[in-house]
Structure 1
Amino acid sequence: MKKFGWILGIVFVLGSLAPSSLSAQDPTKVDPKHYTVVFENDKVRVIHIAYGPGEKSVMHYHPEGVAIFLTDAKASFLLPGGKVVKTRNKAGDVVWAPAGKHQPKNLGDSGFELYQIEMK
């Protein structure tokens, strides 16, 4: 689990953006099929994330937060510079997710789900 936390950190840190262009890359706006807001207040936003087998998103941005995996997940993340980082998680994994920009893809044969708690 620690290894994935470092990988996820690299994915988000390498893909981070300047705050001025972030609103156009909100995953709930640019990809509502995969990203749904389930709770929001002035401190946090909780997003439910769900991908079917082989599905991918568009390039988007997440502020720092915590990811809580509901199912096993095998994914790749395309970063803005063209680098691809692959990850694996188990149901129940909880990892810190630094802010960053990426384009995820489900590499697994089944869907995966998680909650991401984004700090404001």
Structure 2
Amino acid sequence: MDTADPVSSNPDHYRVLFENERVRVLEYHDEPGDETAPHRHPDSVMVTLSAFRRRLSSGDRVFDTVLDAGDARWLPAQTHSGENTGATPTRAIFVELREPSPLAPPEVTPLGPS
């Protein structure tokens, strides 16, 4: 799967709000039925601005999630594509960490927020 930066691979959905040498803050938005091209996120914190339903895919793995507005979730580094499977727009902020985790990566990288 492609490991493209989400701002480059999905410019209609992601935009940079702020960045420095330690973090990058992205805004994400889409509409019901929209899909994203494969892209990679480093370790991040995701804050949902709207309630939404999504499907994330990575290879043969699929993760369906429903999130409420105002949720804050950890998103471990991962590569995926996504689809808005709900009836509402997706609105979220991602705070991407520039420094890699000091822990060794797990055997299978988790998919989706936790």
TM-score normalised by length of structure 2: 0.82
Aligned equivalent of 1:58: 37
How big is the shift at 1:31?
0.7
For the 8 Å contact 2:13–2:28, the answer to whether it is kept is yes
1:57-93 per-position Cα deviation (integer Å, ceiling 9, x unaligned): 00100000100000001000011x2221100100000
For the aligned residue pairs, the C-alpha RMSD in angstroms reads 1.3
Aligned equivalent of 2:104: none
For the 8 Å contact 2:51–2:88, the answer to whether it is kept is no
Aligned equivalent of 2:101: none
Task: Give the number of aligned pairs.
Answer: 98
Structure 1: where are the runs of 5+ without partners?
Answer: 1-16
How big is the shift at 1:50?
0.4
**Secondary structure of 1:68's match?**
strand
Structure 2: where are the runs of 5+ without partners?
Answer: 99-114
**Secondary structure of 2:7's match?**
helix
Which structure has more helix as a fraction of its residues? 1
Partner Cα distance (1:100, 1:90) in 2: 22
Which residue identity does 1:107 align to in structure 2?
T
Which structure has more strand as a fraction of its residues? 2
Partner Cα distance (1:63, 1:104) in 2: 16
Aligned equivalent of 2:12: 33
Aligned equivalent of 2:87: 109
Aligned equivalent of 2:47: 68
**Secondary structure of 1:53's match?**
coil
TM-score normalised by length of structure 1: 0.78
Which residue identity does 1:54 align to in structure 2?
G
Aligned equivalent of 1:44: 23
Percent identity, aligned pairs only?
A: 33
**Secondary structure of 1:71's match?**
coil
